[in-house]
Structure 1
């Protein structure tokens, strides 16, 4: 996954939306993610997909049109930074618009985890790194935990 991610300001049309969507979903599954933005894969396209192993929501040219004033904390991870989980405050719900792979326009209101994942992936396209939304202390603790886990994994690999 690429980092830092540039902001994508123009709506860029991929040659084949279905093929791009399939590749994004395959990559997301491979890395165990629940969301993936095209620019994390080096593509300057305003697109991401999110979901679980049974249902994915493709979002081409998404926009956030309304959001909750109430922000809730939750730990977030990111495929760009494997093993790093940071507490982030985000709006509890968002109302959004996006096109699907068939160019049909959708307006949806997402709550809780779906709202969080949508916002996280949307931020990638805006050039916003989730670490920049975390408090300094929370981020420092998360980075120490990640480093400790990485050292432990390295020791386990050396034993095999």
Structure 2
């Protein structure tokens, strides 16, 4: 099942998500994870958090492959390629974020048409549960760490635009208001806040 992606302006995106309870049905969890991957791929995303499909629970999925797999046209590099990670993260907790922050232009499926430079730490340690509710504590780096940090922010009620300077936020205010009303080009199903135009 492909969910519509919730647009900026919906309160669910500014709400801190709650833990997925231990007694949550394993079959329902598996289905939700599959549906979120399907929704993410249909929108050509590399990460998707449950609040973006209207569910305020601590769950996100990522597939960093498109971001870390070199294109055939890329120049050869001496550095080992970053491994691709495709995974669901349940009830994650950020243990640490370390290293010198680096900038990269981020976008968000809930905010189509806007990309801005965001600075994040290159190395993280995350504690999380997998789909079988087994607990892991694992380190991630580079682009995969960035994707995880972006999706983790969603669970905290934080959008990448919240990390911009006051000046940048002011410049984007009108665009964000138009997006929340449905006045935006998008190539995937979206759900706009009540009172919005197109659905």
Partner of 1:108: 138
Corresponding residue number in structure 2 for 1:99: 129
Secondary structure of 2:113's partner?
A: strand
Greater helix percent: which structure? Answer: 1
Relative to structure 2, which stretch is displaced further, 7-16 or 60-69? 7-16
CA offsets 1:107-145 (integer angstroms, 9 cap, x no match): 11111111101010000010011101023455648x88x
- Residue 158 of structure 1 is matched in structure 2 by none
Aligned length: 147
Whether 2:19 is the aligned partner of 1:7: answer: no
Which residue in 1 is equivalent to 2:112?
82
Q: What SS class does the counterpart of residue 118 from structure 1 fall into?
A: helix
Tell me, what secondary structure is at the counterpart of 1:109?
A: strand
Counterpart of 1:67? Answer: 97
Aligned to 1:35: 47
Distance in 2 of aligned mates of 1:10 and 1:31: 25
Q: Secondary structure at the match of 1:124?
A: helix
Rounded Cα–Cα distance in structure 1 between residues aligned with 2:167 and 2:103:
15
Following superposition, the deviation at residue 44 of structure 1 comes to 1.7
Root-mean-square deviation (CA, aligned residues, Å) is 2.5
Q: How is 1:110-129 mapped onto 2 (pairs within 5 angstroms)? A: 110-129=140-159
Structure 1 contact 86–138 (Cα < 8 Å) conserved: no
- Contact 1:50–1:118 (CA under 8 A) maintained in structure 2: yes
Q: Secondary structure at the match of 2:115?
A: strand
- RCO comparison, higher one (Cα < 8 Å, 6+): 2
Higher strand share: 1
After TM superposition, what 4+ stretches of structure 1 lie above 4 angstroms from structure 2?
136-139
| 8 A contact 1:61–1:98 mirrored in 2 | yes
Point out the more displaced range, 46-55 or 117-126.
Answer: 46-55
